[in-house]
């Protein structure tokens, strides 16, 4: 081969490689997270950071809801520290600028703040420095130009604001996996909603108006990880022991730190703790683990049942999570945290949506 022909071949090869690279990068589903920085949001960020670093997803942005478990400002700093700690310091993060009708009670916020602060600490000396609240969540949520999966795991205040700010966002959100609601029971506690009927789930009770706006705008794209499904994944001492014995990464260590908190352990003993947000994220990433039923739901806006989700023939089209495979979830969660989750057919690389109207293949 002449040197000219060789140069042409090398050039062609280089062009082919360059053309292939963006395709490979684009093959990773883009994910945006709206969180309220409770202890299970922190565990979920550790999980999602591993999913990003191991090629399952491209974590595009994280926003923090103010109406949930995290204090204003502290939730933002905790999200930033956790992403930095888990190797994703460049992911855009901001928080909201508004509270819903019923922010979570102080009894929950104070213990959650301690648990997440310890888990987010960047090192013995650095801790996790406070930052002022920014209020740019709606802008961050509307920034991605392409289509993406939204994982929502707190009160829906920011998501509703973003949809109002830019109605084209509804078209760009391919699917939204929401941890919230429940059609069989609620989970209010600890001084929340005294005087009402307690049939509500926390995230929907915190901002019923936002929940309804998101239902209406994203009808047909909603996978609801409701209490019906999360009831199947209590945080058990057996699984806590497995995490402790298989603690090979910073991500796993973060979750181990969370579960070692005395208050968390006491609530586990009382059977009050579930893998709410991690199940929601894992359902989004794997397209498995949760069984859905198609239904139509509306969020009650006022009175004793404010925040409750009810079946309504004119309501939003929802895939309601009604069950979950606890063992498959625990195995997947542990493997992802430790950086060894297998790429399964039907898994995230194709993001196959759950089979309409019925049981999920496992």
CB nearer to Ca ion: pick between 38 and 157: 38
| Distance in Å, CB of 277 to Ca ion, minimum | 5
Q: What's the closest the beta carbon of residue 361 comes to Ca ion, in angstroms?
A: 28
Measured from the CB atom, is 107 or 126 closer to Ca ion?
107
Q: Which stretch binds Ca ion (CB under 5 A): 1-9, 14-22, 154-162, 307-315?
A: 154-162
Binding-site size for Ca ion (CB under 5 A) equals 6
Of the two residues 34 and 247, which places its CB atom closer to Ca ion in the complex?
A: 34
250-259 vs 39-53: helix axis angle to the nearest 10?
Answer: 170
CA 206/CA 191 separation, integer angstroms: 13
Q: How far apart are CA 200 and CA 204, in angstroms?
A: 7
Beta bridge partners of 177: 151, 223
CB of 65 closer than 8 Å to CB of 154: yes
Yes or no: say if 151 and 280 are a contact pair by the CB < 8 Å rule.
yes
Cβ atoms of 86 and 60 closer than 8 Å: no
Supply the minimum distance, in Å, between the C-beta of residue 56 and Ca ion.
21
Residue numbers 258-317 binding Ca ion by CB under 5 A: 277
Q: Least Å distance between CB 69 and Ca ion?
A: 6
Place of tokens 């039923």: 293
Cβ-based nearer residue to Ca ion, 162 or 178: 178
Near Ca ion by CB under 5 A: residue from 103, 144, 154, 307: 154
Footprint of Ca ion on residues 75-104 (CB under 5 A)?
A: none
Contacts of 178 (CB under 8 A, 6+ apart): 152, 153, 156, 203, 214, 222, 223, 224, 225, 280
- Would you give the binding string for Ca ion spanning residues 18-47, x where CB under 5 A is met? ------------------x-x--x------
Instruction: Name which position in 77, 133, 153, 247 contacts Ca ion (CB under 5 A).
Output: 153
- Report the DSSP pairing between strands 309-311 and 316-324: unpaired
Residue 247 vs 289, nearer CB to Ca ion: 289
Which spans of this chain sit near Ca ion (rule: CB under 5 A)?
36, 38, 41, 153-154, 277
């Amino acid at each position: 081969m002449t040197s000219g022909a060789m140069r042409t071949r090398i050039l062609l090869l280089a062009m082919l490689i360059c053309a292939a690279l963006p395709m490979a990068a684009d093959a990773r589903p883009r994910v945006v997270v709206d969180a309220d920085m409770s202890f299970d949001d922190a565990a979920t960020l550790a999980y999602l950071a591993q999913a990003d670093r191991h090629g399952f997803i491209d974590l595009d942005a994280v926003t923090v809801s103010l109406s949930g478990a995290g204090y204003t400002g502290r939730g933002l700093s905790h999200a930033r520290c956790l992403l930095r700690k888990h190797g994703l310091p460049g992911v855009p993060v901001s928080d909201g600028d508004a509270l819903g009708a019923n922010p979570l009670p102080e009894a929950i916020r104070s213990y959650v703040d301690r648990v997440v602060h310890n888990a987010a600490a960047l090192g013995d000396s650095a801790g996790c420095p406070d930052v002022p609240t920014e209020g740019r969540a709606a802008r961050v949520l509307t920034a991605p130009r392409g289509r993406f999966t939204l994982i929502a795991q707190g009160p829906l205040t920011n998501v509703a604001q973003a949809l109002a700010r830019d109605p084209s966002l509804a078209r760009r959100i391919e699917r939204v996996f929401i941890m919230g609601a429940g059609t069989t029971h609620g989970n209010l506690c600890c001084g929340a909603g005294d005087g009402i009927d307690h049939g509500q789930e926390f995230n929907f009770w915190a901002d019923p108006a936002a929940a309804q706006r998101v239902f209406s705008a994203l009808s047909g794209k909603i996978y609801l990880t409701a209490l019906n499904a999360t009831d199947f994944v209590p945080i058990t001492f057996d699984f806590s022991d497995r995490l402790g014995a298989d603690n090979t990464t910073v991500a796993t260590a973060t979750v181990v730190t969370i579960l070692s908190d005395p208050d968390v352990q006491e609530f586990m003993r009382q059977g009050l703790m579930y893998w709410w947000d991690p199940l929601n994220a894992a359902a989004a990433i794997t397209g498995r683990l949760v069984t859905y039923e198609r239904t139509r739901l509306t969020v009650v806006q006022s009175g004793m049942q404010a925040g409750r989700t009810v079946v309504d023939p004119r309501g939003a089209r929802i895939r309601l999570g009604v069950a979950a495979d606890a063992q498959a979830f625990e195995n997947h969660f542990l493997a992802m945290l430790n950086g060894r989750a297998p790429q399964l057919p039907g898994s995230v690389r194709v993001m196959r949506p759950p089979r309409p109207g019925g049981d999920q293949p496992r």
